[in-house]
Amino acid sequence: MAKTQALPHTLPNPHALSPEELATALAGNLEKGLSAQEIEARLKQWGENQVDKQQQESLLVVLLHQFTGPITFLLLAAMGLSFLFQEWLDGSAILLVILLNGFIGFFMEYNARQSMEALREMAMVPAKVLRGGRLEEISSEHIVPGDVLFLEAGDMISADARLFHTMQLEVNESALTGESLPIPKKIEVLPDSQPLAERVNMVFKGSFVTKGNGHALVTGTGMNTELGQIANLVQSAQQSATPLEKKLESFSHKLIKITIFLCVLVFGAGLLQHRPWMESLTTAIALAVAAIPEGLTIVATLALAQGMLRMARHQVIVKKLSAVETLGSTNVICTDKTGTLTKNEIEVNRIVVAGAEAQIRPNPLKGEIIFLSDPQHLQEKESYKQLLLCAVLCNTARYEIINQQEKEVGDPVETGLLKFALAAGLHLEQVKTQYPKLAEESFNSETKVMGTLHRNGDQAVIYAKGALEELLQRCTHQLTNGQPQALTPQDREEWQKKEEQIANEGLKVLAFAYKDTQETKNILLEELVFLGIAGLLDPPREDVKQALAECASAGIDVKMITGDHPATARNIAEQVGITKGQQALVIHGSNMPAYDQLSEQQKKEWLESAVFARVSPRQKLDLVTLLQANQMVVGMTGDGVNDAPALKKADIGIAMGIRGTQVAQEVADMILQDDSFPSIVLAIKQGRIIFDNIRKFVIFLLSCNLSELFLVTMVSLLAFDFQLVPIQILFINLITDVLPALALGVSPGNPTVMKHKPRHLEEPILKNAHWISLVVYAAVISACVIGAVSFGHWVVYDQSDWDLNYSNNILFFTLILCQLWHVFNMGSTKVAFYRNEVFTNKYVWLALLLCVGILALVLLVPTLAKALRLSSFDKEMAAVILGFSLLSFFLNLALRKLKIIY
């Protein structure tokens, strides 16, 4: 262990040492990896494997930032003038408002920060390591020097490591070296002076595997990696604002201009009416505070973060705030089939070899195969025995049963084959030991075939599996009655018919072949002996049909894109409701030319078709390009390395969390932890809800604030004897702007949100109809408040008993209650009032309860009443206030029901 302690400073260039020398220096084990005790000690010594995050501002700095806005400076100026002219009560009240506003802003920003940190924790990247001789999947942050990594195509490399075993391994290191082409990797020792870009026996943190697989010994983690050293030299860029934040910022600027104009008007009117200039100035400043919703951006960020956490609880990790806004505008979803529309619980359901066929159900836990049809001597066939060996050896997955608990790592199709072989009586590790792997030709979307070379005594054997049409082209013989016999055109036709028949039943078809060979280094997947085919069952998810129906009602088009056989794709599409009838158009990848070669007719077919089969990643990218060219907002699912371009090109890239590669997850905007299509629909629904909630509280805040502007301006211009004093304006702003707006921001959502078409991505938060509506809302509130004062003055009270303080009381309390009841006007009118999303929102009721409680406290505590310039309060006044405040609510509700306003 003493040697490992000096690793970051004294270990020679690892590329210049042999793997064995490095293992000795790191006290590691190339065959078994590290033990649990060693891991714990090394984590304490070097810390977690992560590049230092951007230094966050301290909480003290965040708190101080709450007091640096232009509105706060205006308040501070008003406070200073109040103290200067010995208006101690006003000055103290303004100071209290400044402090309360600051602490509320701090709390919301802190809450948003905590929410985003929780999301970051959920999005940790996994890594496969050898621990105690077993392959395990762990969080990449727990990798330590001396660990043995297992890398395969699609993996993001999580640490710097020295390769000691490779199978056609190629790595994209463009993020580190700028080299755009993948680098073929080797294991030979290199000179000390070898440049970084030419260290082909090393892999580096931040790069990713594009082909093959391999094992590597970790030599550096965290800041002791090449990527970490670069991070030390680069200053973190300022995070750019999201489109939503920019829209909110634009709002604020418009509102500030309107407010300044009205404040100058109020100040001027006060001077013309010979009111004290200090009172007029303070009123104008307080009005500015009342008019501008300072916490708008913070509340919006908090609403986004809380909505993203809500998605995370439903297995959807959204990585970018800006993606939430795009989610609500998505009108096309291009989805994979396997594991997304289907359960991804792959099991072998059909086995066909020459002369025998059977429908089966493997039970690996009991070590038996249940035959659902006559086995026709299947188990006695040599081709069946060879097919079982092929299923185990031409396979990179791992499957084992520990204490009756299944543990699997790798592709679900490959783990399904291992379950089949184990159920058939094969000992998986024993077979792999008997036939050690010498070389591997990895499966890729172009060849659609995988091959492995194994030692078989003094000779070698090649096993291959893949798509039938591709594998048959590489076969010259088939194994019949224990002997290879020439594969005739009629045989080929029979196998293709059998594949079509099985695929039409919704099964995925996989073909198998082998070849004895003298070659022990290279795999030549030619002149193979065909063994047979397996039909693998992956039934549709039960909840997919309902999710697709919801997409249809929401105006969202769904296209299924799969590498599977067209018949399999059509069958599943019909089962889940994407298409109706066997005559639905299915576009085959072989009939999909490059985008720049598409005819107008082909473009039309692509746009109209809902099912695409045997599609390559390049064709996925072309389809996204075509859809976007037709003004569509595209959500695209993907799981492989080659899917990364399409995921990045799509408006919303959706990576799979279970079977998705790290590269796909890295470039995607969101990750489905359960790989489920209904989770995509849920994310779109939540995206719509979040945007609707933001729109609701923006309308609520602006209409309430505008009502204060209208009211104070109207009273000033008409030279009434009553007026809201500055401290009252500040108090009203504090009561009505914060709690109800926050409650609207976390609303569960309009129940009809998925009943209308997606909004345009460029649609502003408030359209013209919304602006008109909030002006009407504000006018109704203002009119009812003035009405309350007039009614109290001329009807309720005898003129001899009337006190100007009564006017102020009625003005103050009626305005507050009008604004509090106004929150219920933000609910949907498409459902019964008592069932809409605002009325049933417990946070709204809690906010109102707290606000009413604060008002009661003001009335019951004489010191507070005096500070707010409030006088006596009686039943008649309470009746006037309650009546006119409810009148404003019902008037606005009636205007909404009549669809005169939004």
Task: Kindly list the catalytic residues.
Answer: 336
In three-state secondary structure terms, 97 is helix
Nearest to 339 by CA among 686, 680, 754: 680
Give every CB contact of residue 630 below 8 A, 6+ residues apart in sequence.
607
DSSP state of 292: S
Give every CB contact of residue 212 below 8 A, 6+ residues apart in sequence.
152, 153, 166, 167, 168, 169, 170, 440, 442
Rounded CA-CA distance 556/434 in Å is 53
Give every CB contact of residue 74 below 8 A, 6+ residues apart in sequence.
285, 288, 289
Rounded CA-CA distance 665/639 in Å is 8
Rounded CA-CA distance 694/744 in Å is 8
Burial of 748 (0-12, 13-18, 19+ CB in 10 A): middle
DSSP string for 23-71:
HHHTT--TTT-B-HHHHHHHHHHH--S-PPPPPPPPHHHHHHHTT-SHH
Torsion angles phi and psi, residue 416, rounded to 5: -65, -40
Place of tokens 């990045």: 648
Rounded CA-CA distance 86/84 in Å is 5
Torsion angles phi and psi, residue 375, rounded to 5: -70, -15
Q: For residue 683, what is the enclosing H or E element? A: helix 677-717
Nearest to 74 by CA among 265, 257, 260: 260
Written as one letter, the residue type at 595 is Y
Rounded CA-CA distance 332/11 in Å is 53
Torsion angles phi and psi, residue 319, rounded to 5: -85, -20
Question: What angle in degrees, to the nearest 10, is found between the helix axes of 768-791 and 804-822?
Answer: 150
Torsion angles phi and psi, residue 767, rounded to 5: -85, 175
Rounded CA-CA distance 421/858 in Å is 77
Q: How far is CA 699 from CA 540, 687, 767, in A?
A: 43, 18, 11
